[in-house]
Amino acid sequence: MRDELYNELVKSENLVYKKTSLMTDNVLSYCPGCGHGTAHRIIMEVIDEMDMQQDTIGIAPVGCSVLAYEFMNIDMQQAAHGRAPALATGIKRLWPDKLVFTYQGDGDLAAIGTAETIHACNRGENILIVFINNGIYGMTGGQMAPTTLPGMKTSTSPFGRNTALMGNPLKITELVAQLPGVHSVSRQAVHTPAAVRKAKKAIKKAFEYQKENTAGATFVEIVSSCNSGWKLPPAKANEWMMGEEPYVPVLSTGAIR
Amino acid sequence: MGELKLMKGNEAIAEAAIRAGVDAYFGYPITPQSEVIEYLASQKPEERTGMVLLQAESEVASINMVYGAAGSGKKVMTTSSSPGISLMQEGFSYIAGAELPCVVANVVRGGPGLGTIQPSQADYFQAVKGGGHGDYHLIVLAPSSVQEMADFVPLAFDLAFKYRNPVMILSDGMIGQMMEKVELFDPVPRWTDEEIKEKCPWATTGKTSDRERNIITSLDLDPSRQEKHNHKLQEKYRKISEEEIRFEKIECDDAEYIFVAYGSSSRIAQKALQLGRAKGHKIGLLRLITLFPFPYKELNDMAPNLKGILSVELSAGQLIEDIKLAVEGQVKAEHYGRMGGIIHSPAEILEAMEKNIIGGKK
């Protein structure tokens, strides 16, 4: 009886989900509860669905996702901290028919790489920038990021971010949305299944735009939890991320441009 | 015979880039080398060969555009001058670590800091000893004429792709700005995408089903693997040091004293040599063409037959350290050079040779 049930279940018409072959079998280096794994997966699923594996080049940043190339089964180059949009510019200008994307965290993109981000977008480089925002430096152990919210505790703002001393969080996504070279900007999240579906749709839209056009940057921010850096269990981190207090009221999701 | 033109050194580099089939130039203006990007812009390279020309937002960005494009197997280059080259050091370290080919020219100006816009050779240490972090080397070529500014571009790319290593053309504000007759080599076509995939199987050209994904990185968190990678790099530098040393000996056969110099100082030293010979001094000139690799053995072999060496460099004395390492105390070796953008005259170089080396104690 059980064998019959099993044989019935494994029939291909009953298949509802299959790991994309564009994710390698390497064990993810991310903490349990981290959003990176989900973000990696949806990008790879989109490239798979578009049948663009042989025409995609990705850029890994410095930060937790420095090893993204271990998990994404596509040609990839690892950039110096913050320089991914410059690398992507160099590649895309010479391989205009390829899909080129960067995958960058908030420290990488919004602090040390602000100039490269702004200028690549302003030039209208036909690339996709995927911006993973968790409001903290994850890899180095939870220090204050340019995106750390006012009052938020980190290892370098242990009593909370004091904006009078430490400056204000940089809303770089809103900043990028003002630039004439940018085609589309949206803020997404990966803390619920519904949010993941929306984020994937945004990635797909951005890649489809890139494939069909010759200019215009696309920019997708994905708000992601860093439970280790936030010192919260994964479920609480997700609640906090989109709860009443910090992220959503400050950072509304959806299309910005 | 190739086309003859009267050109600035900076223009010669730019024209040579188009003719050498370079795929892209990424750069940022800085005196005394802005003519490179200006000349390229005037030539409409996108029409002549399809070459991409892009003015970046900084030297940091231009070297990282080079890093990205080099990773995808394309022939790419940038040029700058000392302060801009300092900003690029991070990129050189990554490019060397990831073993990618590219060419960069430094038209050196006086430093430190913002310094001056006049010629200098005070970036020798930075160019040949590293500059960025980690154990790596650039291959460093030192042109001494506008002709060599042109000819060293294809040579630099040959070496860059042969060894998958960044190559620096270490010039200076004098060679960059002065005009001389140049015989331009005939243009070669850019590589097609198919040729790139064949010549650079390691490049990020898009993962096809017949190969594993290509990863360009300088990162390996496992120290034993990182050490292995470092050994591999060192083995490459050793091979380069065996096979790629280039220099020119001028009137060295009967010489008792020699100047050792490169770039514009070698031109001035050659005149000082003639003045000295006219006075009866048996002076020769060892003109260095590669600065890394350095001709340690050649100098060591020459040393027993010499009475003295004067290193001539527009610096406080950087090249002299390698000369002393090479001769191992067998012969007296000293430095002479002006700094801060002042260019030494043949007469003062000869005077330094006469006073400090010929007339001086061993």
Strand partners, A57: A75, A100
**Residue ending a domain, choose from B194, B216, B236:** B194
Chain A positions touching chain B (beta carbons under 8 Å)? 53-57, 59-60, 66-67, 69, 72-80, 83, 86-91, 93-95, 98, 115-116, 119
pLDDT of residue B16: 98
- How many CB atoms are closer than 10 A to CB B233? 18
Residue type, B329: G
Residues B36 and B170 in one domain: yes
Residue A244 has pLDDT above 90, yes or no: no
pLDDT band at A245 (very low <50, low <70, confident <90, very high): low
Domain A27-158+165-255 has CATH 3.40.50.970: yes
In tens, the pLDDT along A233-242 reads 998 888 887 6
Residues B188 and B302 in one domain: no
What are the distances in angstroms from CA B25 to CA A33, B17, B45, B293?
43, 8, 10, 26
User: CB A94 to CB B219 under 8 A?
Assistant: no
DSSP string, B46-79: HHHT--EEEE-SSHHHHHHHHHHHHHTT--EEEE
> Does some domain include residue B217?
no
Give yes or no for a contact between B302 and B286, defined as CB atoms under 8 angstroms apart.
yes
Residues B17 and B159 in one domain: yes
Residues B124 and B190 in one domain: yes
Residue type, B201: P
Residues B124 and B25 in one domain: yes
Query: Contacts of residue A89 in chain B, CB cutoff 8 Å?
Result: 54, 61, 65, 68
pLDDT of residue A213: 95
DSSP string, A26-49: SPP-SPTT-SHHHHHHHHHHHHHH
Domain with residue B8: its CATH number is: 3.40.50.970
C-alpha A38/C-alpha B174 separation (Å) is: 56
Mean pLDDT on A60-67: 96
Residue A37 has pLDDT above 90, yes or no: yes
Which of B58, B68, B213 shows the shortest C-beta gap to A74? B213
DSSP string, A140-189: TTSEE-TTPPTT--BTTBTT---HHHH-PPP-HHHHHHT-TTEEEEEEEE
User: Is B61 an 8 Å CB contact of chain A?
Assistant: yes
Query: Contacts of residue A77 in chain B, CB cutoff 8 Å?
Result: 67-68, 71-72, 98, 204, 215-217
C-alpha B362/C-alpha B355 separation (Å) is: 12
By the 10 Å C-beta count (0-12 exposed, 13-18 middle, 19+ buried), A3 is classed as exposed
Residue A116 C-alpha from the chain's centroid: 17
ipTM score: 0.95
Give the rounded percent of residues in chain A with a pLDDT score beyond 90.
Answer: 82
Which of B66, B98, B207 shows the shortest C-beta gap to A73? B207
Strand partners, B312: B336
Structural domain total, chain B:
2
C-alpha B46/C-alpha B48 separation (Å) is: 6
Query: Contacts of residue A47 in chain B, CB cutoff 8 Å?
Result: none
Q: Which of A12, A54, A208 is nearest to A128 (CA)?
A: A208
Residues B49 and B146 in one domain: yes
What are the distances in angstroms from CA B12 to CA A208, A212, B7, B152?
42, 39, 6, 10
pLDDT band at A228 (very low <50, low <70, confident <90, very high): very high
Residues B167 and B75 in one domain: yes
Give yes or no for a contact between B339 and B172, defined as CB atoms under 8 angstroms apart.
no
> Does some domain include residue B255?
yes
pLDDT of residue A255: 82
Mean pLDDT on A16-44: 95
In tens, the pLDDT along A103-117 reads 999 999 999 999 999
> Does some domain include residue B218?
no
Residue A248 has pLDDT above 50, yes or no: no
What are the distances in angstroms from CA B37 to CA B17, B32, B114?
11, 12, 21
**Contacts A–B by Cβ distance under 8 A:** 128
Edge-to-edge strands of the sheet including A99-105? A254-255, A182-189, A217-223, A128-133, A99-105, A56-60, A75-78, B215-216
pLDDT band at A249 (very low <50, low <70, confident <90, very high): very low
Contacts of residue B288, defined as CB under 8 A and 6 or more positions apart, other chains included, come to: B142, B247, B260, B261, B262, B266, B294, B295, B319
pLDDT of residue A239: 83
Domain with residue B272: its CATH number is: 3.40.50.920
**Residue ending a domain, choose from B166, B194, B222:** B194
Residues B269 and B128 in one domain: no
User: CB A88 to CB B207 under 8 A?
Assistant: no
> Which H or E element spans position A136?
strand A136-137
Bigger pLDDT: A252 or A143?
A: A143
**Residue ending a domain, choose from B173, B194, B215:** B194
Which tokens sit at B185? Answer: 């080599």
Which tokens sit at A202? Answer: 């945004």
In tens, the pLDDT along A158-206 reads 999 999 999 999 999 999 999 999 999 999 999 889 999 999 999 999 9
pLDDT of residue A12: 86
pLDDT band at A16 (very low <50, low <70, confident <90, very high): confident
DSSP string, B162-216: HHT-EEEEEEEHHHHH-EEEEEEPPP-PPPPHHHHHHH-TTS-S---TTSPPPEE
Residues B189 and B276 in one domain: no
> Does some domain include residue B202?
no
Q: Which of A203, A229, A8, A250 is nearest to A99 (CA)?
A: A203
Q: Tell me the pTM.
A: 0.96
pLDDT of residue A31: 94
> Does some domain include residue B334?
yes
Residues B320 and B178 in one domain: no
Query: Contacts of residue A87 in chain B, CB cutoff 8 Å?
Result: 64-65, 67-68, 71
Strands A182-189 and A254-255: antiparallel
Residues B349 and B255 in one domain: yes
Residues B21 and B170 in one domain: yes
Residue written as tokens 């790991």?
A19
In tens, the pLDDT along B127-163 reads 999 899 999 999 999 999 999 999 999 999 999 999 9
Q: Which of A49, A76, A66 is nearest to B205 (CA)?
A: A76
> Does some domain include residue B337?
yes
pLDDT of residue A201: 97
> Does some domain include residue B243?
no
On average, the pLDDT of chain B sits at: 97
On average, the pLDDT of chain A sits at: 93
For residue B312, the enclosing domain spans 248-358
Give yes or no for a contact between B182 and B16, defined as CB atoms under 8 angstroms apart.
no
Instruction: Name the 3-class secondary structure at B241.
Output: helix
C-alpha A190/C-alpha B159 separation (Å) is: 47
User: CB A79 to CB B67 under 8 A?
Assistant: yes
In the predicted model, residues of chain B with pLDDT beneath 50 are 362
